[in-house]
Amino acid sequence: MSADDKLKILALHGYRQNADIFKKITQPLLDSLSMWVKFVYVNAPHEVFLVDDPDNLDFGEKVCKKQYGWFFNRDNLTNRGIRNGGPAIGFQETVRSIESIFETYGPFDGILGFSQGACLAALLCDLQHRGLIKPKFNFAIIISGFKSKCLPHMKYFSDIISLPTMHILGDEDEIIPNEMSASLAECFEEPLICNHTGGHIVPTSPEQIEEYQKFVYTHYLSKNLS
């Protein structure tokens, strides 16, 4: 098997994570799919600052220079997935960054995202569906995903998206409740929904690994037999 035979998947980390942390978190998944997949991990373009008071516009102290986010839904440059309304500060810069990543490291067969990265992955699915971005990909794996409720994103997901997707939902997820992830899955045609008993994590139990493998192998065959 040559490297060109493998699927190439762009991995999008969660809020206040980075590429290195996300690679460590997903290492069991990476190992289990290495026969068919090459993952590419990238940092979001926006550094995250910690504020002393989430409702205070003054910045607090930086606690880590290596925490990043894909966009912010508060004017103080923080983000909370369950927040209704608010801006989407930095989102257009993120889209341009993703386009640049596709040009530099692509093409990619699919994308995988966790939490805010999953939210972004879904937004990219919608943008591709409407022909509004240059990157093209064939599937998405969305872990603890949700529909952004930022005001600029309210126009998204007006159509059912036909792109194949796998949605991972945690029964004990207290950060992104199951209902939010399930609501996002409804925006896609025939989504594959997989529940696990954990919380806000990338699940890598043997049962869950088997589900990833089945989904990914289907696309691996599609790529190499077409």
Catalytic positions: 115, 173, 200
DSSP label of 16: T
Distance CA 33, CA 213 (A): 7
163-175 core/surface letters (b: 16 or more CB in 10 A; e: else): bbbbbbbbeebeb
Full DSSP string of 138-183: SEEEEES------GGGTTS--S-B-S-EEEEEETT-SSS-HHHHHH
Residue type, 61: E
CA distance 7 to 53: 43
Q: Exposed e or buried b for every residue in 52-90, given b needs 16+ CB within 10 A?
A: eeeeeeeeeeeeeeebbbbbbbbebbbbebeeeebbbbb
